[in-house]
Structure formats: structure tokens, C-alpha cells
């Protein structure tokens, strides 16, 4: 029997459509892998073994099986998005354990495309921080289990990197897709505002949060994004078009003053720049004009978004770091809601993106913090640790522009390293094409060596 665990989503879907594999046997193989490995990784808050097998049988019996873009593909869902029949705990003891009556629209689109939800993944409380741990478990980096998988889509990233699912659904409000993807050697894209339905928490953190894919290949990321965006033609993603010669700006400057970039991440940027230059693109050093106030702008929006999400919850049941974060944001909710801070940042950065098509930066400044009980530690310690290792992601949530993470190089530990690609609104296809060129010329190992 073929072991389908570890295959790409595109490979699995093709096999199911062509009846070389049944959705049930594919899902069963992944459930076996989850049972064997997740005790070491902590990717899942809940595994839907019986329900997933039953739903796989239903997919296999569909009359349109041969047309489904994700036929029989197991998928993990971040635990802040509703899955019908399951509770949405959002990493917290303060949330309800009542099962959801309906799927979130993104989950519904995945299921309509033939995917099977095998479980809900570990997140930090209210998806606030860049490490994923709390009362429901700790998500570890499968490549280096002593380190955090990152956050807040850490469980989803860990599940994919461990080969427990080929793709997973996450979201990104300050880097929550790109950070764990960078840690775990995955491809992800935070789409621009309005490309994929959001509906995350109470107001999408003032429009900063976007849903997106986590995958081991650019092909899978492109396919899943097309499903999430409802942008399929005859069951296929839009036809790819070469973006032509692009003007790529390369920057190692941290958007947050005082944060330095470690050598592996700087080397990864230089390596990616060389690949894109060889591919015929115009590549040059250029730093975006980040305002000195960017750190404060990011902090006020981040805390205000959490304050809104926490306002209906029993604060006595929240972890101390979450309570402090929400309390700090309460005075800023009205000001942030005007959108003026985001508008000012867009206005400052638009001329740079008129001169350059794409920005290439490190995905992170350094490796992730150790895996541990960060939810029991103070707010300041958490905030400083997050800011020190992931300063490059927040600006693009504030602007609402697309940004993605691509694996490039390795850390001294052997864990993956990564770069970030950023584009102007509507440039998702161009970013994916650049990522695919990097993948072709600098291929990466797709899953962690846990066996």
C-alpha cells in the first residue's frame, strides 16, 4: 500500500481524482502519522479521527470527485476559525466549548473543493503572540523541537512541516502565517486585503488579519490560495503568466529600530537575491522609508485588536500576558478604528513601491524562542522576545499588502531559514512566481526528519 502521508496536496488530489487512491485511505494514513508524531510536536488541539474518516468516505462517494481540486486532501485548521461540529477555543480557557453550527467560509470552501478537516491546531491565547502555547498545549518546531514553531499559526505550520497534513489553514494579523512558516520551512502567503474572506475574531484586528495557506511547495500554496479566494477556473488555479522583469529591492534594515539581523537570515536574503538576479530580474539594495514611529503604530494596533477580541470574555480566565495586552490596547481602540495610522503608513510607502515592484527582506531576524510556557511569563518578556525575532512582518498587515515567506538556506541547527517577499496590492501572482523560481533553483527539503 502506498503511504500517502508526506505527499503534496496536488499529488494526493490527482490520485484521488484518478481513483489511484481513495480519500479514506489517504486520510487514514495521515491520522496514523498524527497519532505517531504529535505527542512530540503538539500541533493539534483536537483531532477529528472518526469524523474525518466518515467525511473522507463522503468525498469518495461524490459524483464530482473527478473535478475536485483538493479531492481527499487532509487539511488542518487553525483553532480560531469555525469548523462545524467542533468548538473554537482560540487557545483560551475563557472561550466557549460549544460546537460551531457552521463552517467558517474558508473552511466551507476547502470542504467544497474536496478537502477533509482532520483537526484543529494549537495557537496562543487569542492568537496574540509569535509563539504557540497555552492551556491547550505547546506547538514545537518539528525541525528543532526544543524551539517554538512560532505563532500564532504555529500548530498549523508544525502539522504541515511534520507531514501530518499536506496543507493547513492559518491566518496572519502581525505575521502569524509568515513567522511559523519561516521557522518550519514552509511556503505561505498573506494575501492582500479583500482577496480571501477574513472574518477572524471581532473585526479582523481592524482589517489587518488575513486567512491564507501553509504548504510545503509553491504549487500547493497557489492551489490552496485559489480555493480560499474562490478563484478557480475548471477546477484549476488561474493560468500562470510570467511577470516579466521585476524591480526587486533588497533590504536588511529592520522596520523596528535597534533590532539587528542574525547572519543566517542575512545570508538567506543574499542567496535569494542572487537567484532572482540570475532569473533576469533587476535586483538592488534599497531600504523602505519606515517611519521612526512604526513600532508604536504596530503596538497600538496589535493591542487594540486584542482588546476588542477580549471584551466579551471573562478576564479572570485569561492568561496574565493576554490581560495586560488587552488592557494596554483599550485606550487606543477608537483612534485605531479611524484607520488614519494605516493610511499614513501606506502613503509613506507607496512611492517606494512605485519605484520597486517587490521587496525582499529576511523573514525573521533570528531563530524562534525556545519552546516553553511563554503563556506563564510576563507581558513585557513576551513582547520583547517577539519583537526581537520577528520585526519584518507587521508593516504589511498595517498596509494590507500581500507578503509571503519562502524557505532559503538553513540555520546552524539544521532547521530551515527563510526570506520574505512583499508586493503592492494585487501582486499575489507575481510573488508566487518569484517564489516558484527560488524553489526551482534552490529546492528545500519539504518535511522534517522525525521518523
Report, as residue numbers or ranges, the catalytic residues: 78, 152, 176
Q: How far is CA 19 from CA 54, 60, 113, 284, in A?
A: 18, 9, 16, 49
- Separation CA 324–CA 443 (nearest Å): 43
Q: Look at residues 14, 21, 117 and name the one whose alpha carbon lies nearest to residue 68.
A: 14
* 294-324 burial: b if 16+ Cβ within 10 Å, else e: bbebbbbbbbbbbbbbbeebeeeebbebbbb
Report which of 368, 352, 374 is spatially closest to residue 422, judged by C-alpha positions: 352
- Going from the C-alpha of 191 to that of each of 114, 174, 194, 197, the distances in angstroms are 22, 13, 8, 10
**Set of cell numbers at residue 62:** 461524490
- Angle 424-428-431 from CA coordinates, rounded to 5°: 85
HSE, side-chain direction, 13 A CA sphere, residue 327: 10
Sign of CA dihedral 16, 20, 26, 28: positive
Amino acid at each position: 500500500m502506498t503511504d500517502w502521508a508526506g505527499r503534496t496536496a496536488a499529488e494526493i488530489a490527482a490520485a484521488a481524482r484518478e481513483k489511484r487512491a481513495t480519500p479514506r485511505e489517504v486520510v487514514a494514513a495521515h491520522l496514523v502519522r498524527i497519532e505517531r508524531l504529535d505527542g512530540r510536536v503538539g500541533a493539534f488541539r483536537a483531532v477529528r479521527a472518526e469524523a474525518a474518516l466518515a467525511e473522507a468516505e463522503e468525498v469518495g462517494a461524490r459524483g464530482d470527485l473527478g473535478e475536485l481540486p483538493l479531492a481527499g486532501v487532509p487539511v488542518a485548521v487553525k483553532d480560531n476559525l469555525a469548523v462545524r461540529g467542533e468548538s473554537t477555543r482560540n487557545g483560551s480557557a475563557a472561550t466557549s466549548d460549544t460546537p460551531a453550527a457552521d463552517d467558517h467560509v474558508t473552511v466551507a470552501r476547502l470542504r467544497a473543493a474536496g478537502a477533509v478537516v482532520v483537526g484543529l491546531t494549537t495557537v496562543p491565547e487569542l492568537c496574540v503572540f509569535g509563539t504557540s502555547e497555552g492551556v491547550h498545549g505547546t506547538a514545537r518546531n518539528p525541525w528543532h523541537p526544543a524551539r517554538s514553531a512560532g505563532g500564532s499559526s504555529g500548530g498549523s505550520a508544525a502539522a504541515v512541516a511534520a507531514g501530518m497534513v499536506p496543507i493547513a489553514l492559518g491566518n496572519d494579523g502581525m505575521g502569524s502565517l509568515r513567522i511559523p512558516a519561516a521557522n518550519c520551512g514552509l511556503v505561505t502567503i498573506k494575501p492582500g486585503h479583500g482577496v480571501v474572506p477574513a472574518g477572524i475574531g471581532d473585526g479582523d484586528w481592524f482589517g489587518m488579519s488575513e486567512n491564507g495557506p501553509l504548504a510545503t511547495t509553491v504549487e500547493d500554496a497557489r492551489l490552496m490560495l485559489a480555493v480560499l479566494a474562490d478563484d478557480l477556473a475548471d477546477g484549476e488555479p488561474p493560468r500562470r503568466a510570467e511577470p516579466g522583469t521585476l524591480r526587486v529591492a533588497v533590504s536588511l534594515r529592520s522596520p523596528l529600530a535597534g533590532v539587528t539581523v542574525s547572519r543566517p537570515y542575512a545570508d538567506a536574503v543574499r542567496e535569494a537575491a542572487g537567484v532572482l538576479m540570475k532569473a533576469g530580474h533587476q535586483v538592488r539594495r534599497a531600504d523602505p522609508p519606515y517611519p521612526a514611529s512604526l513600532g508604536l503604530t504596530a503596538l497600538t494596533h496589535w493591542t487594540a485588536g486584542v482588546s476588542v477580541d477580549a471584551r466579551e470574555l471573562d478576564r479572570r480566565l485569561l492568561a496574565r500576558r493576554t490581560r495586560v495586552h488587552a488592557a494596554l490596547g483599550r485606550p487606543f481602540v477608537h483612534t485605531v478604528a479611524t484607520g488614519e495610522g494605516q493610511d499614513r503608513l501606506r502613503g509613506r510607502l507607496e512611492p517606494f513601491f512605485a519605484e520597486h515592484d517587490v521587496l525582499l527582506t529576511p523573514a525573521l531576524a533570528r531563530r524562534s524562542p525556545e519552546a516553553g510556557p511563554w503563556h506563564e511569563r510576563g507581558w513585557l518578556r513576551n513582547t520583547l522576545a517577539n519583537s526581537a525575532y520577528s520585526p519584518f512582518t507587521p508593516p504589511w498587515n498595517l498596509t494590507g499588502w500581500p507578503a509571503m515567506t519562502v524557505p532559503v538556506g538553513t540555520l546552524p541547527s539544521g532547521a530551515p531559514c527563510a526570506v520574505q517577499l512583499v508586493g503592492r496590492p494585487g501582486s499575489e501572482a507575481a510573488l508566487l512566481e518569484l517564489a516558484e523560481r527560488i524553489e526551482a533553483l534552490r529546492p528545500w527539503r519539504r518535511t522534517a526528519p522525525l521518523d
